Amino acid sequence: MKVKQHSDKVSRVWPLFTNIDVDYGEGVHIYDQSGREFIDCTSGIGVTNTGHCHPRVVKAVKEQTEKLLHGQTTILYNSMLDRLTNDLQKIIPEKLNCFFFSNSGSEAVEGAIKLARHATRKPNIICFQGGYHGRSIGALSLTTAKSVYRSGYQPLMSGVFVSPHPYFRQYREEDVEERTRHCLAELEYLLHTQTSPDETAAMIIEPILGEGGYVMPPESFINGIRDICNKNNILLIFDEIQTGFGRTGEYFAFTHFNIVPDILVIAKGIASGLPLSGIAANKEIMDKWIPGSHGGTYGPNPISMAAAIETINVLEDEELVNNAKEMGDFLLAELQALKKEYPIIVDVRGKGLMIGCEFVDDNGNPGTVIAEKVRQNCLTRGLILLTCGPYNQVIRWIPPLTIKKTELEKALTIFTLAIKDSLG
C-alpha cells in the first residue's frame, strides 16, 4: 500500500500513524479517497464520541455558521453560553456550578492550574506519575507519561511535584492494595518533606490514565487522594479530557469512585470534533478569579457551542452512555478471552469504551514491537487503532460510543487475525 505523506512544508513533529488518505467520516467509519472503509476505533483520540459527522451535530453546526462565526465573550452577551452551561449542569453535579471555556485540552488544564493558584494563593501543584495533561509549558510540566513529551523543553514550570501511581510494570507482581497504600503514604510524605499543605494549591490526576496506558487505579487510591486533599485543604483537579462525555460508561469517570473533584477539566468529547474545552468548579472558587485575570480571544466559539449543545442532546437521546457501558462490557470480555489464548497479551483492562490491551515480548518486557505490528496489521485489514502506555506497549480501544455489536465483532475478527499475522 502506498504511504501518503504530507509535503515537507508540514512540520514533521506530527508523525503520521496511518497511510489513510482521508475523504470523509461517517459514524464509526472513515473512508479514503478510493472509497475504502475503515473501522475507526480511535475516535480521533477520544473526540468523536457521537461518531463522525453525526447528522444532528452537523445540522446544528451548519445553522450556526450562517449566523455568527465569532462573537467574543467579553464583547457580546450570547444566550448560547447560558444554554450550554445549563445543559452541562444536567450531567455535572451542582457542586461544580460555574464554568469557564477555552479551545483545547491543554488550554483548559492551564486554566485549571491558574485558577487553583489564584483561588488559594498557594504556588505548588502535585501531579501523578504516568499522567498526560497536555503540551503547553504548564500542562507539560504535569505530564509524565513519556519523556519524549518533555525532552528538549526543560526547565518546565516550577512548583510541580510528582507523586507515584500504583500502575507500574515493576510493581505489578505486588498486591495492588498494598502498592496503593505505599503510593498514598508517599503522597503524604511528599506533603511532609517537599511541598507543605500551606504551599500546595492542588493535586491533578486523570481518574483513569489515558496516554499513560489506559489504567483504572484502585478505588482506594482515588478516594485516598480525595481524603488527603480534604484533610490538608488542597484542591483536587480531575482531568477528564479523555474520560469525559460518556467514554467510560458514565458521563464522567469520577462517578466510578463516588467522589466529586473541586475542579473538573473537560474537552475532546464535548463538541464531537469542534474545538472546545472548559473547566467546572464551585462558584465560590471560580469567583476568586477577578474579572480580567484570565481569558482568551476565542473560547467558547459559537460554532463549537452549537456542536456541544447538540452533542449533549445526542448522548442523552441515543442513550450513548449506556451503549458505551454495554458495548464496553462486551469488548472487555472478548479481549479477555483473547488474552487466555495469546500469552503476548499480558493485561486487558478498562471501563466502558476505554479499554487497554497490553502486550509483552518473549522475555516479559514491554511488547512495544509486537503491539506496533498488531496495530499495523489491523490497519492493513481496515481497522484503525492507536497505542499508548510508557513504552507504546498498550493497544487502546476508544471507538465512538455509537458503535454496534456487529461492528465490534468485525473489529475483533480483524484484531484476532492481526495478532495471528504478527506471530506468524
Q: Would you tell me which residues interact with ligand PMP (CB under 6 A)? A: 45, 104-106, 109, 132-135, 206, 210-211, 239, 241-242, 267
Rounded least distance, CB 135 to ligand PMP, Å: 6
The C-alpha cell that represents 2 in the structure block: 502506498
**CB 305: neighbour CB atoms within 10 A?**
25
Q: Which of 69, 92, 30, 359 is nearest to 251 (CA)?
A: 92
Rounded least distance, CB 108 to ligand PMP, Å: 8
Strand order in the sheet with 22-26: 22-26, 29-32, 37-40, 383-384
Q: Give CA–CA dist 17/33, Å, rounded.
A: 17
| Residue nearer to ligand PMP on the CB measure, 239 or 358 | 239
Rounded least distance, CB 311 to ligand PMP, Å: 16
| Residue nearer to ligand PMP on the CB measure, 132 or 251 | 132
Q: Give CA–CA dist 284/377, Å, rounded.
A: 52
| Residue nearer to ligand PMP on the CB measure, 117 or 133 | 133
Reported in sequence order, the residue ranges of 68-107 that DSSP labels E, i.e. its strands, are: 98-102
Q: Which of 143, 146, 225 is nearest to 186 (CA)?
A: 225
Residue type (1 letter), 380: T
Start-to-end CA distance of the chain, whole Å, equals: 20
User: What are residue 52's DSSP bridge partners?
Assistant: 27
| Residue nearer to ligand PMP on the CB measure, 127 or 360 | 127
Q: Strand, coil or helix: what is 31? A: strand
Q: Strand, coil or helix: what is 223? A: helix
Residue 213 region by backbone torsions, left for phi larger than 0, else alpha for psi between -120 and 50, else beta: left
Rounded least distance, CB 223 to ligand PMP, Å: 20
Q: Give CA–CA dist 354/251, Å, rounded.
A: 13
| Residue nearer to ligand PMP on the CB measure, 103 or 163 | 103
**Which sign does the torsion angle of CA 311, 314, 320, 321 carry?**
positive
In the complex, residue closest to ligand PMP by CB: 105
Rounded least distance, CB 244 to ligand PMP, Å: 9
Torsions phi, psi for 198 (to 5 deg): -80, 0
Q: Strand, coil or helix: what is 352? A: coil
Q: Give CA–CA dist 361/242, Å, rounded.
A: 28
Torsions phi, psi for 356 (to 5 deg): -110, 140
| Residue nearer to ligand PMP on the CB measure, 215 or 241 | 241
The C-alpha cell that represents 54 in the structure block: 453525526
| Residue nearer to ligand PMP on the CB measure, 30 or 388 | 388
Rounded least distance, CB 98 to ligand PMP, Å: 21
| Residue nearer to ligand PMP on the CB measure, 244 or 334 | 244
C-alpha distances out from residue 263 to 83, 93, 281, Å: 21, 12, 5
Rounded least distance, CB 4 to ligand PMP, Å: 23
Rounded least distance, CB 104 to ligand PMP, Å: 4
Rounded least distance, CB 175 to ligand PMP, Å: 28
Rounded least distance, CB 133 to ligand PMP, Å: 5
Rounded least distance, CB 297 to ligand PMP, Å: 17
| Residue nearer to ligand PMP on the CB measure, 191 or 384 | 384
The C-alpha cell that represents 241 in the structure block: 479530557
Strand order in the sheet with 124-128: 98-102, 277-281, 263-266, 235-239, 200-205, 124-128, 160-163
User: What are residue 40's DSSP bridge partners?
Assistant: 384
| Residue nearer to ligand PMP on the CB measure, 109 or 229 | 109
| Residue nearer to ligand PMP on the CB measure, 109 or 187 | 109
